[in-house]
Structure 1
Amino acid sequence: MRINVLQHTPSEGPGSIVDWAADHGHQVYIYHPYQFNGILPTVDDTDLLVILGGPMSPNDDVEWVKNERQLIKQLLAQHKPIFGACYGAQQIAKTLGYQVLKAPHKEVGWAPVYLQSNKVPGLPKQLTALHWHEEMFEVPTEAQLLFTSDLVHNQGFILGDNVIGLQFHLEPKTINVRTMAINDGQYANEGNDLHQTAAEILQAPVPVENKMAIDAIFDFLTKTN
């Protein structure tokens, strides 16, 4: 299987998704459209699409941002699996015709999320996830709410058996958290309703359950569970 990853900032990589792919013998290709002239994979070259987070918004009037949604639309039409984290989940929702809005709270740091659907086997009722956002998606009416948090209700959705979008991050490993915190830590220090500094975010260990949850999600999307 060819897994195409759209990465939108150097500080937010695929983390444990790459480990899951290696465990299953899949090939990972990472694209950086924000840096390399909007280069994207084709739908024919994509068996599974991963859309990571980033500082941009789906509402930005940028050509490659719009082109990403065309790719998502084509993959949806072919019923191929798609996973979106943060901005990536927002892009999926926007592709489906739903709004990306200012969230009622800016969440940056570690905070619990609560499972709302039992559709994905192996997901625990609660996880401590890494949040790094101030916008949120509308949950598509054709999808199910998958997660909520204390501050922002729309934290995840599942569409059919092949699309999952999460407003938060389960994929970061320790090295990814360090990269986010040292390079984008000022974002945590400004108007953050979780009231965590970059230093505090760094001090918290990555929960082992998050890797297990990523495994469960990608097993579900690829029907390997």
Structure 2
Amino acid sequence: MRINILQHTPNEGPGSILDWSQAHGHQAYIYHPYQFGFLPKAADTDLLVVLGGPMSPNDDLDWIRQERNLINELLAKNVPIFGACFGAQQIAKALGYPVTNAPVKEVGWAPVYLKSHVIPGIPDKLLALHWHQEMFEVPNEATLLFSSDRVRNQGFVMNHRVVGLQFHFEPQSDNVREMVVNDFPYIKGSVFNQTKADILKTPVPAENKTVMFHILDYITATSNR
């Protein structure tokens, strides 16, 4: 399987998604459209991963629009897609749904709650890393998958092939440190009132990687085709 990963900032990489790819013997290709302007072709994509970033789907940039065109091509072909944060927002906007300011800015560690058991093996409550102040509207075609205490629209699953999460399950310890040391000014104003030190000293839950694997296994299962 060829996994095409769209990365949108140096400090928000694929994390445990690469572990999943390597464990299954897949080939991962990481694109940086914000810097180089190149995107993969739909015909060369068996799984698309759309990662987070500091930009908004509402920004008037050619590569952001082209990325949504790619997403729509793959949706029409029933190709699996996983989106995290900006990536999930891009999927929703590609489907014609708005991305707006969330009720609060969420940056740091906080629980999320499972709202649908369509994907097996996911606990009802998980500690996730949040790094956002915008949110997607859950598409009518999709099922609400996660909510947090203050933001309802935290995740969705659609057609057994697409999952979008407003938060992050993919970062591992090194990834969290990279996010914090490079983007710590963004923490200011978060409803969680966590400091840089608070975020860094919180261990990454081991179950987050397991859940990430469950999600990717689910959307790529041949039984869902």
TM normalised by structure 2 equals 0.98
For 2:216, the aligned partner's letter is F
Matched, 1:130 2:107: no
Matched, 1:43 2:42: yes
Matched, 1:214 2:199: no
Match of 2:203 in 1: 205
8 Å CA contact 1:181–1:199 kept in 2: the answer is no
Q: Secondary structure at the match of 1:44?
A: helix
For 1:158, the aligned partner's letter is V
Instruction: Give the distance between the partners of 2:71 and 2:205, measured in 1 at CA.
Output: 30
Q: Output one character per residue of 1:65-124: Cα deviation in whole Å (capped at 9) or x when no partner.
A: 000000000000000000000000000000000000000010000000000001001111
Q: Secondary structure at the match of 1:35?
A: helix
For 2:10, the aligned partner's letter is P
- Extract unaligned runs of 5+ from structure 2: none
Instruction: Give the distance between the partners of 1:28 and 1:127, measured in 2 at CA.
Output: 27
Match of 1:52 in 2: 51
Match of 1:164 in 2: 163
- Extract unaligned runs of 5+ from structure 1: none
Instruction: Give the distance between the partners of 1:203 and 1:70, measured in 2 at CA.
Output: 40
Match of 1:63 in 2: 62
Instruction: Give the distance between the partners of 1:137 and 1:198, measured in 2 at CA.
Output: 26
Q: CA deviation at 1:224?
A: 6.8
Q: Secondary structure at the match of 2:109?
A: strand
Q: Percent identity?
A: 65
8 Å CA contact 1:186–1:198 kept in 2: the answer is no
Instruction: Give the distance between the partners of 1:83 and 1:222, measured in 2 at CA.
Output: 10
Instruction: Give the distance between the partners of 2:42 and 2:141, measured in 1 at CA.
Output: 23
Match of 2:116 in 1: 117
Match of 1:32 in 2: 32
Q: Output one character per residue of 1:141-195: Cα deviation in whole Å (capped at 9) or x when no partner.
A: 110000000011100000111000000000001010000000001101x211111
Q: 193-202 or 66-75, which moves further after superposition?
A: 193-202
Q: Secondary structure at the match of 2:48?
A: strand
Instruction: Give the distance between the partners of 2:175 and 2:44, measured in 1 at CA.
Output: 27
Instruction: Give the distance between the partners of 2:222 and 2:176, measured in 1 at CA.
Output: 28
Match of 1:182 in 2: 181
Instruction: Give the distance between the partners of 1:81 and 1:196, measured in 2 at CA.
Output: 35
For 1:18, the aligned partner's letter is L
Instruction: Give the distance between the partners of 1:6 and 1:21, measured in 2 at CA.
Output: 15
For 2:200, the aligned partner's letter is L
8 Å CA contact 1:161–1:220 kept in 2: the answer is yes
TM normalised by structure 1 equals 0.98
Instruction: Give the distance between the partners of 1:128 and 1:224, measured in 2 at CA.
Output: 30
User: Which structure has more helix as a fraction of its residues?
Assistant: 2
For 2:134, the aligned partner's letter is E
Q: Secondary structure at the match of 1:74?
A: helix
Q: CA deviation at 1:197?
A: 1.2
Match of 2:21 in 1: 21
Which one of the candidate residues 180, 191, 195 is aligned to 1:193?
191
Instruction: Give the distance between the partners of 2:127 and 2:70, measured in 1 at CA.
Output: 31
For 2:9, the aligned partner's letter is T
Instruction: Give the distance between the partners of 2:206 and 2:63, measured in 1 at CA.
Output: 35
